[in-house]
Amino acid sequence: PLIMVFSTMGFWVLGRRILVTWPSLQRLPGKEAVCGVALTCCAAGIGFLPFSLYEAVLPYVAPTRIHAEYLPKSRQVHPQLVEVWADLFVRRQNTEAAAQRLETLRTQHDHYAPTYYTLGLVHMKRRQFDEAIAHFATAVDIVPYFAEAGCWLVEAELMQGRVDAANRHLENLERLRPDYPLVHLLRANLRLLEGDQQAAGAGFRKYQVANRYQFDRALERAARIFRRHGEEDQARQAEQALDGLDAPEAGLTSPLVWSYLGLDLPGMSLSSPDDRGVYYNIGAVHAQGGDLAQAEQAWSQMNQLVPDHAISWASRGLLYARTERLSRAADILREGLRHVPDDVRLLQVAHDVLDTLGRHAEASQLRARIDTALLQTSDIPQIVSSRWFPVEVVLPMTRVGLSTRG
C-alpha cells in the first residue's frame, strides 16, 4: 500500500508537470483527465521496466498473497488429512476408501503437499510405484524442502530400477536438506549399489554427522519443553545427556530423533526408518578398505545396538580369525551364537575357528547344527566366498533389500 501511495503521488506530480510544460493543455475542459492518462500510462509502464520497483517488490509481495490464500485452506484440510492418516497407518483400514477421501481433499486444496505425500504412501502400499512417484514428485515440487517426500521419491525410483532418476532427486535433496540424516544414508546405499566403497564411506560419515547434529537439537528441544512446564529435573537430565552424548549410536530408530525430525507434520508420523544395518555396512566398507581397527569398532557398535544381527558377529569373528587371534574370535562367535543360535553363516565361521583351534568336539557339534539349519531353510545363505561378507543394502523407509554390484 505504501508503494502504491508514493507511486500515485509521483504520477500526479508528473501529470501536473505535463500541464505546466504545455500550458495550452490547461484550457482543455478535462485537464484532470490528462493527469489521469499520465497516471494510467505510467502505472502500466512500470510493469515492463526490467529493473523497475514493481519487478523488485513482486517476489516479496507474491508469496505473502499466496500465503494468505494457502494458510486458511491448509487449516481446513490438515485435520481431515490427519484423520485419513490414522485410518491408514493406525487403524489399518482399507486403502481404497482412503484414496477416495484423499482425492476429495486434493480438490479442496490442490497445493497442499502433505496430501500428495499421503497419496504417494497409499500407492506404495498398493505397489503402484509409478503413481506413487508422481504424487511424491508433486509434493516435492510444491515444497522442495519436504525431505520425507523426497526420500520416499528416491526409494520408489530405486524400486523401479531407475537409478539415474533416483540420483537426480537425491542430488536436489543433498543441496536443499544437508541437515537431514536420511538423505546421506540413501546416498551411501546408492554408492554401495554402484560398488563405490569409498564414496559410500563418505556418505556414512555425513550420515553420522547429521544424525549427531539432529540428536543434539532434539535433546535441546526436550530440555526447553521440560523447563517450560516446570519439570526442572527432567530438563537437567536432558542437558546431562546432551553433555555426555557419544552418539552416532543413537540413530534414526531413536524415537526422540525421529519425532523431532517430523515436527513439520503434526499428527502424521510414520514408523522410524530402518537404519539398523548402518554400522555393519560401515564396518564392511572399512574392512574391504583394509582399515580393520575401524571395522572392528563399527561391528562392535552393531553388536551392541542390534544383538540379533548375525552377520555382524560372523564378520567380527572372521576379523579376529584372520588376524590370528583365534581365541578372541571363538569368544565373540560364542557370544553371537547365544543371541542368534541358528544362523548358518555364523555357525559355519564358528565351526571353522573351533576346528582350527583343535577343539574338534565342539566343532562337530556345530557341524550337526549347521546340517539341521540347512534342512530347515530353502534359502541357503552363501558361506564366505570372498575375503569378507558382502554389504547389505536395505532402503530405510520401504525396508526393501537390494542386491549390490560391488
Asked if the model's pLDDT at residue 216 lies above 60, the reply is yes
Residue 221: the pLDDT is 87
Number of Cβ atoms within 10 Å of the Cβ of 70: 15
The residues near 370 (Cβ < 8 Å, ≥ 6 apart) are 344, 347, 348, 351
- Write out the three cell numbers for 71: 494458510
Q: 386: closest CA among 331, 318, 327, 309?
A: 318
Residue 45: the pLDDT is 57
Residue 222: the pLDDT is 86
**How sure is the predictor about 290, in pLDDT bands with cuts at 50, 70 and 90?**
confident
Residue 52: the pLDDT is 54
- Note whether 143 and 177 are within 8 A (CB): no
Asked if the model's pLDDT at residue 396 lies above 70, the reply is yes
What pTM did the predictor assign? 0.74
- Note whether 102 and 115 are within 8 A (CB): yes
**Paired strand residues for 401:** 394
| More confidently predicted of 21 and 187 | 187
The residues near 307 (Cβ < 8 Å, ≥ 6 apart) are 339
**How sure is the predictor about 405, in pLDDT bands with cuts at 50, 70 and 90?**
very low
Torsion of CA 305, 307, 312, 315, to 10 degrees: 130
Ranking 22-31, 147-156, 364-373, 394-403 by mean pLDDT, the lowest is: 22-31
- Report d(CA 60, CA 171) in Å as an integer: 28
- Report d(CA 60, CA 27) in Å as an integer: 44
Condensed to tens digits (0 to 9), the pLDDT of residues 125-183 reads 899 999 999 999 999 999 999 999 999 999 999 989 898 999 999 999 999 999 999 99
Residue 338: the pLDDT is 93
Q: Which helix (H) or strand (E) is 250 found in, with range?
A: none
- Report d(CA 311, CA 397) in Å as an integer: 22
- Report d(CA 316, CA 345) in Å as an integer: 12
Residues 130, 133, 135: CA angle, nearest 5 degrees: 115
Mean pLDDT of the chain: 80
> What domains can be seen in the chain, in order of their start residue?
2-48 (no CATH), 79-177 (1.25.40.10), 189-300 (no CATH), 301-402 (1.25.40.10)
- Report d(CA 341, CA 373) in Å as an integer: 10
Condensed to tens digits (0 to 9), the pLDDT of residues 307-363 reads 998 889 999 998 998 888 989 999 999 999 999 988 888 888 898 888 888 888 888
43: amino acid identity, one letter: A
Compute the average pLDDT of residues 107-124. Answer: 91
Q: 194: closest CA among 34, 393, 57, 365?
A: 393
Ranking 119-133, 200-214, 361-375 by mean pLDDT, the lowest is: 361-375
The residues near 130 (Cβ < 8 Å, ≥ 6 apart) are 160
